[in-house]
């Protein structure tokens, strides 16, 4: 059971995917397929830590899978699957519930944000969310995890869990044939750079988010050409035009965001974009940006719609991916059972 470099990441099937998911996460995931064995998950079990309407959860799971495929995640090369089809996630999460300490979870800022004021009413699942995330990663003994900045703390917790498991069960791990006592690796975060951090079109200091009440704040991957153009036209700006160098973006989050989006969509550096548009008004720049965005996103949206209109293809991808994921996770979980002292037949 070698420790090979392996990438794992996931996205929740809640709400529709937007430009921030595409530029901030998926492009990097696609890139990593070239160099690594990759496993990309639709984390439906994480989704239900907050209430999800069951029929919407089913369609959101297919929708996210369709977006994965349409964006260029290759189901032949990488493993694409939904979490609930592979039972080892829940099994390992239970063991980790018994490894992680209350004190560790109490420090998680995302729980505090999501639980809000009435913490007593939050689900136990929301509290244990980071343990399930650690299980997602470590069930495959994954070594690299591309995530946004907001998930860094959860990844640190996964590292702590891996380390405590390795320590607590050191003799059993060595007896199981891991001479160096390392059963779980320390998964490395691959943090998405600020260059691809996409902010709200209404407020350049907030991340573009599916939970923002204003639909004008984000470009959904399934928006049609007219709404893409309209949202860019209405995007918040400031009175100054486009500067000719990056220094001119300082303290101007909205301008910085639009230039960053242009650069990411065009596959150019910000400097190159500024060299091209420096000195122009926002109106002209927004026209060019709208054209580019429609150009890049319309085929993506069309493909998502084609795939979701008859889900057989998506469901087959998920079934195949789940079987392949299961084939990796099952022997890992069997070792965990031996190490912990669970009798199995």
Q: Exposed e or buried b for every residue in 203-224, given b needs 16+ CB within 10 A? A: bbeebbbeebeeeebbbbbbbe
Q: Exposed e or buried b for every residue in 125-151, given b needs 16+ CB within 10 A? A: ebbbbbbbbbbbbbbbbbbbbbbbeeb
Q: Could you tell me the smallest distance in angstroms from the CB atom of residue 77 to ligand TRP?
A: 19
- The residues that touch ligand TRP, with contacts defined as CB under 6 A, are 8-10, 12, 43, 46, 133, 136-137, 145, 147, 151, 154
By beta carbon distance, the residue nearest ligand TRP is 10
Is 152 considered catalytic here? no
- Read off φ and ψ for residue 269, nearest 5 degrees: -80, 160
Q: Could you tell me the smallest distance in angstroms from the CB atom of residue 178 to ligand TRP?
A: 23
Which candidate in 76, 112, 170, 210 is catalytic?
A: 210
Q: Which of 18, 116, 37 is nearest to 325 (CA)?
A: 37
Is 114 considered catalytic here? yes
Which candidate in 164, 170, 207, 287 is catalytic?
A: 207
Q: Could you tell me the smallest distance in angstroms from the CB atom of residue 318 to ligand TRP?
A: 16
Which candidate in 34, 76, 112, 114 is catalytic?
A: 114
Is 207 considered catalytic here? yes
**Exposed (0-12), middle (13-18) or buried (19+): which is 177, by Cβ within 10 Å?**
exposed
By C-beta, is 193 or 299 nearer to ligand TRP?
Answer: 193
By C-beta, is 12 or 220 nearer to ligand TRP?
Answer: 12
Q: Could you tell me the smallest distance in angstroms from the CB atom of residue 2 to ligand TRP?
A: 21
Contact 205, 222 (CB under 8 A): no
By C-beta, is 151 or 222 nearer to ligand TRP?
Answer: 151
- Read off φ and ψ for residue 37, nearest 5 degrees: -75, 125
By C-beta, is 88 or 256 nearer to ligand TRP?
Answer: 88
Annotated catalytic residues are 114, 207, 210
């Amino acid at each position: 059971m070698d420790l090979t470099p392996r990438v794992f990441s996931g996205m929740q099937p809640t709400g529709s995917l937007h430009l921030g998911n595409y530029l901030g996460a998926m492009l990097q995931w696609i890139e990593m397929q070239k160099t690594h064995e990759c496993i990309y998950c639709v984390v439906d079990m994480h989704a239900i830590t907050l209430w999800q309407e069951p029929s919407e959860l089913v369609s959101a799971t297919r929708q996210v899978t369709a977006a994965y495929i349409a964006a260029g995640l290759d189901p032949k090369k990488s493993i694409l699957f939904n979490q609930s089809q592979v039972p080892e996630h829940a099994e390992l999460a239970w063991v980790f519930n018994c490894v992680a300490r209350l004190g560790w979870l109490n420090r998680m800022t995302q729980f505090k944000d999501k639980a809000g004021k009435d913490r007593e009413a939050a689900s136990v699942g929301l509290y244990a969310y980071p343990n399930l995330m650690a299980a997602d990663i470590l069930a495959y003994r994954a070594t690299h995890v591309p995530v946004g900045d907001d998930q860094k703390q959860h990844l640190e917790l996964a590292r702590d869990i891996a380390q405590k498991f390795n320590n607590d069960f050191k003799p059993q791990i060595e007896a199981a044939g891991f001479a160096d006592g390392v059963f779980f690796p320390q998964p490395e975060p691959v943090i998405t750079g600020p260059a691809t951090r996409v902010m709200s079109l209404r407020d350049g200091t907030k991340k573009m988010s599916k939970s923002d009440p204003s639909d004008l704040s984000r470009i959904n991957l399934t928006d049609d050409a007219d709404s893409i153009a309209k949202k860019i036209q209405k995007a918040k700006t400031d009175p100054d035009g486009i500067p000719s160098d990056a220094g001119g973006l300082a303290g101007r989050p909205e301008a910085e965001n639009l230039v960053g989006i242009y650069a990411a969509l065009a596959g150019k550096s910000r400097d190159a974009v500024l060299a091209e548009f420096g000195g122009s008004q926002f109106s002209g720049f927004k026209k060019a940006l709208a054209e580019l965005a429609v150009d890049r996103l319309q085929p993506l949206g069309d493909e998502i719609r084609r795939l979701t209109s008859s889900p057989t293809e998506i469901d087959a991808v998920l079934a195949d991916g789940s079987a392949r994921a299961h084939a990796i996770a099952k022997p890992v979980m069997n070792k965990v059972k031996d190490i912990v002292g669970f009798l199995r037949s």
